[in-house]
Structure 1
Amino acid sequence: MGALSFFLGIDVKQTRDGFYLTQHRYAEDILEHARMMSCKPVAMPIDAKGKLNADGPAVDDAHSYRSLVGTLQYLTMTQPNIAFVVQQVCLHKHDPRMPHLALLKCILRYTGFSFAHR
């Protein structure tokens, strides 16, 4: 079968010191699916001073929102730095509002930034 190099969206690279796991390709697939490949990246996934507003109009496509949230949850396996903000958008999967979608898009922009600067 050969050496393990890609499994379940995770790139595996073996070195003398062990294994290096990354989800760079998976993150690119998420951005492509969200039609955000050419988005302007941000250096921080959330406004540290602001509070997530639970009000606002409902998102047009709640199914798409939930799908993107799920893909980001899987991405936290190799990017634990986004775990907190992903958990924040997960709290609103049952009734996503426009502020939640804005945060979701910000996380996606940060994901693009973090992989571009590695």
Structure 2
Amino acid sequence: MKHVKDLLKRADMADARAMPTPMMSGLRLDASRAVFDRPTLYRSVVGGLQYATITRPDIAYAVNKVSQFLHSPLEQHWKAVKRILRYLAGTTNMGLEFHKSEDFRILAFCDSDWAADPVYRKSTTGYCVFLGSNIISWSSRKQVSVSRSNTEAEFRAVADAMTDTMWLQKLISEMHLP
């Protein structure tokens, strides 16, 4: 909560109106418009948002997208960052909650957006892994290589989620949990 308030203050958005989502659906960020005149502020706020994803996986995808423009942020990128901040301002009571559970089943969900990067045509993979009802791992990142189809992009997302899931299964078995 304090971290979010510090980010809002740093961005001169202490009284910002809350938004229902961290990013508009279908938003395409590119590198072809007006340059943002305060790149140091952009990098500072985005760095704070990256830190916030530790306890707020709901902003991981949006933060991943704005992080791709740290080298030369534009006005449209700053607007996207401000929307994330406005979303956080309205959801300060949200975060990770862990509940005691005897359920040690691992459940993973994944998805990808095929060729969504407008410049390099790379896909983004996202997944989350649950131990019982508690989320214990998540990721949102650009795929290393270009997928030639939606199926291939989805397969890469499944492979990433399964790699993490298999590692967690091994960890749980080494801890002698059922």
Structure 1 length as normaliser, TM-score?
Answer: 0.75
Please say if 1:63 is aligned against 2:16. Answer: no
In structure 1, the partner of 2:77 is 100
Match 1:37 to one of 3, 6, 14: 14
Specify every segment of 5 or more residues in structure 1 that has no aligned partner in the other structure, as ranges: 1-23
- Among 31, 42, 50, the residue aligned to 1:73: 50
After superposition, the Cα gap between the structure-2 partners of 1:39 and 1:100, relative to the gap in structure 1 and judged at 3 Å, is same
Distance in 2 between the 1:82 and 1:72 partners?
8
Find the aligned partners of 1:117 and 1:78 in 2 and give their Cα distance: 9
Does the Cα contact within 8 Å between 1:65 and 1:101 map onto a contact in 2? yes
Deviations 1:9-50 (A, max 9, x none): xxxxxxxxxxxxxxx111111111211110111011111133
- Tell me the amino acid that sits aligned with residue 74 of structure 2: R
Letter in 1 for 2:61: F
Q: Do the aligned residues in 2 keep the contact of 1:54 with 1:100 (CA within 8 Å)?
A: no
Q: How many residues align?
A: 95
Distance apart, 1:84 and its partner CA: 0.7
Match of 2:24 in 1: 47
Equivalent in the alignment of 1:17: none
Aligned-residue offset at 1:114: 1.0
Structure 2 portions without partners, runs of 5+? 96-178
TM-score (norm 2): 0.51
| Largest Rg, 1 or 2 | 2
Taking only the aligned residue pairs, the percentage that are identical comes to 33
In the alignment, the residues of structure 2 paired with residue 77 and residue 49 of structure 1 have an alpha-carbon distance, to the nearest angstrom, of 25
Match of 1:112 among 89, 105, 124: 89
Match of 1:90 among 40, 45, 67: 67
Higher RCO by CA contacts (8 Å cutoff, separation 6 or greater):
1
- Separation in 2, partners of 1:59, 1:50: 18
Q: Any conservation in 2 of the 1:39–1:109 contact (CA below 8 Å)?
A: yes
CA RMSD of aligned residues (A): 1.5
- Residue number in structure 2 paired with 1:7: none
Q: In the alignment, does 2:14 pair up with 1:25?
A: no
